[in-house]
Amino acid sequence: MIDVQAAEALLRHNRPRLVDAGRITPIWSDDGARFSYQVTRSGADRTYLVDPTAGTRTSVAMLPTPPGTGDFLAVVSPDGKHEVFRNGPDLWLRTVSDGSERPLTTDGSVDHDYGTSPFAIKILLGKLGLPHLPPAVVWSADSRRILTHQLDSRLVRETHLIDVLPDDGGAPELLTQRYAYPGDEHVPLAQYVVLDVETGTAVRAQGEPFVLPLLSPISRKWAWWSGETIYFLDQPRDQRTLQLKRLDPSTGAVELVLTETASTRVEPNQFMELPAITRVCGDEVLWYSQRDGWPHLYRYDIHSGELLGQVTSGEWSVRQVLHVDLAERVVYFTAAGLVDGSPLRRTVCRIGLDGSGFTRITNDDLDHEVAVPPNGGYFVDSVSTVGLSPVHSVRSWSGQLLVELEAADSTALMATGWRPPEEFRVLAADGVTELFGLLYKPHDFDPAVSYPVVDHPYAGPQVNRVSPTFDPGLYGADADPMAALGFGVVVVDGRGVPGRDKAFHDASYGNYNAGIDDHVTAIRQLAETRPWMDLDRVGLFGTSGGAYATVRAMGEFPEFFKVGVAESGNLDNRYYLQAFGETYATTDGSLLDYAEQLEGKLLLMHGGLDDNVQPHHTMRFTERLIAAGKDFDLLIVPRAEHIMLGYEHYVVRRRWNYLLQHLAGVTPPPYQLKPATLDISFLSKLTG
């Protein structure tokens, strides 16, 4: 059965509407003692004020007005009196009370600007009506000073796109951007700058500029204030050393606090888009390290840099530091790998800073997504699994229930025919390593029927494909619609993705191979006990790194994968973003030689204005396919950027129809999909 209506309802921009109270986003009071939140039930928004100390949850008319002028592109001071925004290449200060504005910097220029990142996504921002992202700045706690950086990309190579149909309908226009490739001599550099709001002075960090990654280290919380001092993490291009440094905001003097070096990459978090886990705690540093083979916490003296001891240990991973109580000398954190059968489900834990008294605060087998207020007095706990819709509550650090908030209602989701995916465990291609994944059965599932199988990979070693939560996430949401179209869908994390031990993640170090051999092995193992999986009809699809994985799979295993759809793929990482390529792709990033090995049906799609993975990636591979005499299908969407906003309804329909026709062997019914509507909140998912 092909249920297009259900498939459309399950698309990533529609699915959240099918789950009432699926997510809680606390809006903290100034001191964090209380918070507000809003949920939607039966199409109506409901707003509540929660006081954990009193144990109350009260209905209110509206959410509190956030401090500042409400300008999304401005960063408000802690006291709410001022906000910083970009004005061309410079930073300006606005007084909230009267709206007056004045410059904080005046020496900015094109390609030498303040508070920006190399990953600009300008085309997407333009579609959302934004000139740029908010500036990368962080205020001091007393609202007197601002930490930012000045980005220098003046020597970075220029690359070009062609807008074939400008807004004015005129002749094609040349669009130029600074875009460094892996191995380039000149890459984006930056220098930290401290701006004093009261005096107008600027203090620059001493020493050489640092290599700026895709996103600002300030935005990624690699740099932060600790009282009157600034700390930041520094890393060379080879990624094999990580340093914690101290910056004196009054003089610009920089001191080294501690260093860790390894034979492979040293990370402050295995997940590229998440903040660094390192914390400065008074006279000590909680340092995230994988030196014993697992991601754990270590304690250092902040003055001498001396190692004081290992805080956590065991065959599991620290995922997030939630709160450090210096008075009690304990740290609260989430850990993954403590739940049998699911290495990614998170558990809230506690341990003494001396490594004693380890306790599981949430002692169950569920996944816990946690938010902590500024005062650290409690935590908001959202509990779910892939098959259990979320339950939200407020708890004390002893695990005591303080306030019941919401239980999500997935009735509308179930009404589409959706059923939870099956969690599975298989062995990797090495025959030793255990892998975990999700299997989505077709909506009209009948075990006596043979169904085509679709793999949905993603090659990026910086994120998981498999989510432990009820929300499949940005990289998992495309599996649900395919099941509604009659496919069995496999989602598996091969070796090389984050979230487990260091050896598992290091399988992708210098080896951007997408773990396709693990995917093939997993599908074959699943089919041994599931005869409904038709191994003569296996296809796959993916976007960006998922497109890379799709094309590589079609070339590396042409006898196994018969049909593929690859969208916006970084198919030749020698010419992709320097920071990503040097971190993950290294020498194994080009797929051009796989063109000669293609045997199945392949649809390539790319946006003509993709300023993330530029369209020449697909063009390069297309040229090699032509030279090899291979038949293929190609769709260029002239004015689309990386996620093809505004065109996704057409692109998705083409993807579905291609797999239905060439893999399932059926004629797609006539239908059209509605365009997606996305607001600026989507950017937080896109940029981390």
- Confidence class of residue 341 from pLDDT cuts 50, 70 and 90? confident
Q: Specify whether the CB–CB gap between 349 and 313 falls below 8 A.
A: no
Name the average pLDDT for the chain.
94
| pLDDT tier at 680, thresholds 50, 70, 90 | low
CA 471 to chain centre: 14
Distances (CA, A) of 626 to 77, 429, 619: 57, 33, 10
Q: For 576-591, what is each residue's pLDDT tens digit?
A: 999 888 888 665 579 9
- CA-closest candidate to residue 490, choices 498, 482, 501: 482
Q: What are phi and psi of 454, to 5 degrees?
A: -120, 130
Residue 403 has pLDDT above 70, yes or no: yes
Distance CA 458, CA 456 (A): 7
The per-residue pLDDT for 553 is 96
pLDDT at 685: 46
Of 416, 423, 426, which is closest to residue 386 (Cα–Cα)? 423
**For residues 128 and 69, what is the distance between their CA atoms, to the nearest angstrom?**
20
| Angle (nearest 5°) at CA 414 between 408 and 420 | 85
Q: Work out the widest C-alpha separation in the chain, in whole angstroms.
A: 77
How sure is the predictor about 42, in pLDDT bands with cuts at 50, 70 and 90? confident
CA distance linking residue 190 with residue 171, whole number of Å = 37
User: Looking at the predicted structure, is the pLDDT value of residue 688 above 60?
Assistant: no
CA 26, CA 39: separation in Å to the nearest integer? 11
Torsion angle, alpha carbons of 627, 629, 632, 636, to 10: 30
In this model, does residue 677 exceed pLDDT 80?
no
Per residue in 638-661, pLDDT tens?
999 999 999 999 999 999 999 999
| CA–CA distance, 137 with 149 (Å, rounded to integer) | 8
Domains of the chain (ranges; CATH) run 4-17+412-687 (3.40.50.1820)
Residue-wise pLDDT tens digits, 414-427 = 999 999 999 999 99
Dump pLDDT digits (tens) for 526-535.
999 999 999 9
Query: Residue 177 is encoded by which pair of tokens?
Result: 């951007």
Element of type H or E holding 538: strand 533-543
* pLDDT bucket at 462, cuts 50 / 70 / 90: confident
SS3 content of the chain, % helix, strand, coil (to 5): 15, 35, 50
pLDDT value of residue 330: 98
- Per-residue pLDDT, averaged over 216-238, amounts to 95
Asked if 370 contacts 380 with a C-beta cutoff of 8 angstroms, the reply is yes
At residue 682, the pLDDT reads 55
Confidence check: pLDDT of 146 > 70: yes
pLDDT given at position 671: 95
DSSP state of 584: I
Q: Report the alpha-carbon distance of residue 36 to residue 60 in Å, rounded.
A: 9
Distances from the Cα of 32 to the Cαs of 145, 225, 331, 375, in angstroms? 22, 19, 19, 5
Burial of 185 (0-12, 13-18, 19+ CB in 10 A): exposed
pLDDT of 242 > 50? The answer is yes
pLDDT in tens, 604-627: 999 999 999 999 999 999 999 999
For residues 483 and 491, give the distance between their C-alpha atoms in angstroms, rounded to a whole number.
12
Q: Please give the pLDDT value at position 586.
A: 62
Which two tokens mark 236?
């060379």
CB 22 within 8 A of CB 390: yes
pLDDT score of 225 more than 80? yes
Amino acid, res. 487: F
103 touches 92 (CB < 8 A): yes
Tokens of 486: 């009659």
d(CA 659, CA 589): 26
Tell me which residue of 246, 147, 156 sits closest to 203, measured CA to CA.
147
State how far the alpha carbon of 613 is from the alpha carbons of 169, 204, 595, in Å.
25, 34, 19
- Residue pair 572/590 in contact (Cβ under 8 Å)? The answer is yes
Closest CA to 635 of 655, 649, 620, 661: 655
* Average of per-residue pLDDT across 243-267: 97
- E strands, 272-366, in order: 279-281, 284-289, 296-301, 307-310, 317-325, 330-336, 346-352, 359-360
Length of the chain: 688
Q: How far apart are CA 260 and CA 242, in angstroms?
A: 5
pLDDT bin (cut points 50, 70, 90) of residue 272 is confident
Task: For residues 177 and 157, give the distance between their C-alpha atoms in angstroms, rounded to a whole number.
Answer: 8
Q: Tell me the per-residue pLDDT of 152-164, one tens digit each, with 9 for 90 and over.
A: 999 999 999 999 9
Q: Please report the pLDDT score of residue 687 as a whole number.
A: 43
CB 294 within 8 A of CB 282: no
